[in-house]
Structure formats: structure tokens, C-alpha cells
Structure 1
Amino acid sequence: MPPTPRPRKATPPPVEWIDRTTPGARRLPPDAPHDPDADARADTYAASPAYIRYDRSPMPVTAMAADYAPGHVTKPHQHPHAQLIHAMHGVMVVSTADGQWIVPPTRGMWMPGGTVHWIRMVGRVQMRTAYIRPDAAPDLPTRCTVLGVTALLRELILAAIDIPLPYAPDSRDGRLMRLLLDEVLLVPTLPLHLPRPSDVGLRQICDAIVESPDTDLTLADWGNSLGVDPKTIQRRFARETGMTFGQWRQQARLLAALERLAAGAKVVDVALDMGYGSPSAFATMFRRQFGVPPSAFFR
């Protein structure tokens, strides 16, 4: 039988939105009046006039800052402009209908415009986001991906947050924004994606693995549980995710491990909790996938 899902934690208080360009408006309280429905409070900032000023600006590039409480989860939403989402502190777990991405502080998430997504915060997250008008950078990715964030790109994002709107394209501010776009084109993409299949049976398997990454259920076990030939399950995994069952489970474990490590867990504890026989086996697989040992990933 599939593993019993672990209970979800309650959602903590919502976001504080930081406006660095409007005098006297440093923070917008999370309960700012715009919708009496309590469920909407988690994303109050998204309906504020100041937020929309960035999200739908005619400027090629805009940037804003927002701080989130640990465990906060945004509601599914989308933006007309593309986003480069970067966390100065904390880890973001970004989800869409196509899968899940882990975004540590030294990385960034590229989100094409019009993509419905939601974000779960691991630790207190200091999010810094650049919004990019679709026609401003036609060569940028058309799919969600995690990007490396260089020291220069990080500083450009921070500088962009302080630029008031509107700005002249040929001004110093306009040139800084163009340099930000140029730098995004140069940074590498990273393998921090866990694809989500559309097949109902595969989703049942994947959801169970995400809930319990240490599960040792085999393809044969899942075949017996679902009444499907294991070879059929393997073919469906390859077709829908581009991975074998084993590769997908390995990726799920590694990304879950990143979350735990980001929260301060010890490598030995994470290795055993993820189903590895020893810390060295975990470190070997981690280095093979990410190019560095677990102890160096967040440096």
C-alpha cells in the first residue's frame, strides 16, 4: 500500500512587502484592506496598488523586495511579466503544474510570464524579484528553470530595487537594468527541478515519494498496488518526466535533502532520513548531481 501522507503544518503569518522607492511607504501591512475574505490575506500585497506598479509596469525591468515568514505559502497566481526570483536569505520551493524547483539563496528562479505558480518558504525568506517585460528580453528562457546567481547579478538585483519608477531608458538607471538582462543571459541553469507527470497513477506514486522520500517501495510494489505492469509504469515515467523511476526518486530525495540542509539539519541525519545507507553514499550522489559536496552547496 502507498505510504500514509504526513500531516501538513499550519500556515504562519503572511508576507511583509517592502517598497524601497516610495518615501514613507517602507512596509505594507499584510492586512491592508482590499478583500474581506480571510483566505486572501496571504497574498494581500499582490493586490496593492504599489505591487501592481511593479508587476504591470511599462518599464522593461522593475524590481521589488518582500520578506516572508517561515513556512508561508503563497496562493497559486501568475504575472503578466516574466520574473527573476532571488532569495537573499532562506530557501524557496517553487511549484507549477509541471513540477517543483528548489531555490537556495545562491540561486534564482526564472518564471516566464503567465505561468501559474505558488511558493513555499523554508525559513524566513528575503525575496528580491525582478519583473521583466516579455518583449524586453526575447532570448531569455521560455520555461521555468533555476539559474546560478553571480555576485554581479545579485548586486544588480539589489540596485534595481532602489530605482524609482519611471526611469529613462537612456539614463544610468536604464543602463543598469539592461546590464541586469545581459547578466541573466550568461548565468548557467541548474538541475534543481522535479518534473510532475500528468498521468494520475504516476502522480499517486510521485506524491507518495515526495511525502516520504525514504520509502523503499519498488516498481514491482507500485505495480501490485496500482494493478499495472511495472514495465508500463517505467515507460510512462520516461515519457512524462524524461527520467526513469529510479532517477525521479533520486532527484526527489536530493531536493528534499536540500530543504533539510537549508533548515540547518546535519548531513548525517539528512542522509539517513532520505534512505541512504551512509553519509558517504549520500555525499557521493549529491556531488554527482550538483558538482559539490553537501557541506559546500550553500556557500
Structure 2
Amino acid sequence: MAKTFTDGSTIALHRHDRDQLLYAISGVMRLQTKLEASVVPPDRAVYIPAGTLHSVSIHGTVDMRTLYIAKGQFRDIAIGVRIMAVSNLLRELILALSEEPITYESDSRGDRIAKLIELELERAKELSLSIPLARDPRLQRICAAILANPADDRTLGDWSELAGASPRTIARLFQRDLGMNFNKWRQRIRFHNALDDLSRGKSIAKVAQLNGYRSSSAFSAAFVREMGIAPSRVSEHD
């Protein structure tokens, strides 16, 4: 299915009986479940297992393609929400399938395209573009403040005072609840925030400054390592 969404649109909490693959030709999608938030930049896709309660927010103009897949078709993939790289071949196959009837006959062009998509999905690289959400109230206070201002450079020791716990306790909570250390989690927040800003046309230099980086080159290098895409490519899609 093909649909276009304008900047600021939202798709309220819902779930599907089938697995779902969301792909955006342009713009940025944010997906949120009970346990995590994920960002989906251009030329990336998100795989959502059947029954997963989720919402989607739109940043920039999003030209979306949605594939619905029989539950259990990809047991190795459908173990949780996954952000996936989209190869040039997979991209063209998704676009080609969106031109076929929603219900297609066995051995038809649509059926053959779908089978090729299956092969490409099985080999697609998974990307670390999800942010786990805090459960502990002390950690939630820190995370909420960083989400509100990703450029805040306070140390873990500074944040521990806000939370009313020792730095060692907060560090342990990050690993236990979020599966990563404080610096890694804050960096991922900054890059999610940066994707939003880039999709709205802000310059790389300005985005780097807003997210706590002193130079565009340092920001760009770190962005590519973490997100698997150059910041310039996000701007190009708008």
C-alpha cells in the first residue's frame, strides 16, 4: 500500500494481525512501542511483528510504502521491532510491488516480486536505531530531561543528583534498564533529534551545534558510525 503523510502527522496507537514492513522513500518516521522508540530515516525500513502495539509520528513529508506479511513468515526477523537497511534492489522491489493489485494471483508478477522481497529481507542488515525507554522512576527523570535538551552536557555525576541516587547506581540502572551506558544512550538521543532537524532542512553545522558537537566534521563522522547514513543524505531527501 502507498500513502503520503505531511509533516507533523501521527498514526495513533494500533496493532495488526499480520507482520508489517514500513518503508519511507522520503522523510523520517518515529515509531514508539511500550518498550522502545525507533527512528526510521530515508531508505531504511522498520519491521513490526504482528500484534505489536505501536504509534507512528511523521517528520517531513513521508512517502510511505507498507507491506503486510503473513504472521510467522519470517520467524528469525519477527522477534521484535527491527530497523533494516534497504538495498537498491529491495527499494525497487517494494516500489514495484506497490504498483501491483493488493490481492495478486499465485505465480503472477506480484507474487514473483513478493518472493524476491522475501529473499532480500532475509539478508537485510539490521541497524541500531532504537532507543530503549526507562522503567525506573529515577532514570525516567534523567531521560526526560535529556530528551527535552539533547545538547545538555552535564555529566553522569550531575544527573545522579537530579535523580537522588549515586553515580554508581545510575550507571547500573542504565545498563540494567536500557542495555547501554549513559554516554551511548545520550548519543543515540542526539542522533534521533538530529534526524528530525535534518529532515526539516536545518544545516549540518546548526544541527551539530544543537546536539552538543563543536564541529560539523566530528558530528558527521559520529553520525555515520551510529546511524549508517551520512547526515547530508537525510537532507537530500527533502
Same fold, TM exceeding 0.5?
yes
Separation in 1, partners of 2:54, 2:3: 17
Alignment correspondent of 2:193:
256
1:221-269 Cα distance to aligned partner (Å, 9 max, x none):
2221221111101001011111101110011111211221122111110
Q: Note the C-alpha offset of 1:173.
A: 2.3
Q: Note the C-alpha offset of 1:158.
A: 1.8
Secondary structure of 1:282 counterpart: helix
Unaligned 5+ segments in structure 2 are: none
Secondary structure of 2:11 counterpart: coil
Structure of greater relative contact order (alpha carbons < 8 Å, 6+ residues apart): 2
Normalising to structure 1: TM-score of the pair?
Answer: 0.74
Alignment correspondent of 1:269:
206
RMSD (Å) for aligned C-alpha atoms: 1.8
Secondary structure of 2:26 counterpart: strand
User: Sequence identity of aligned pairs in percent?
Assistant: 39
Q: Is 1:176 matched up with 2:118?
A: no
Alignment correspondent of 2:86:
149
Separation in 2, partners of 1:273, 1:83: 34
> For residue 211 of structure 2, what is the amino acid of its counterpart?
M
Q: How many residue pairs get matched?
A: 236
Separation in 2, partners of 1:101, 1:196: 10
Rate the CA distance shift 1:126–1:163 in 2: closer, same or farther, 3 A. Answer: same
Equivalent residue runs for 1:1-299 within 5 Å: 64-291=1-228, 293-296=230-233
Normalising to structure 2: TM-score of the pair?
Answer: 0.92
Flag as ranges the 4+ runs of structure 1 deviating above 4 A: 296-299
> For residue 198 of structure 1, what is the amino acid of its counterpart?
R
Secondary structure of 1:102 counterpart: strand
The answer to whether the 8 A contact 1:90-1:124 is kept is yes
Alignment correspondent of 1:40:
none
The answer to whether the 8 A contact 1:84-1:110 is kept is yes
Once the two structures are overlaid, the 10-residue window that deviates more, 267-276 or 159-168, is 159-168
Secondary structure of 2:21 counterpart: strand
Secondary structure of 1:76 counterpart: strand
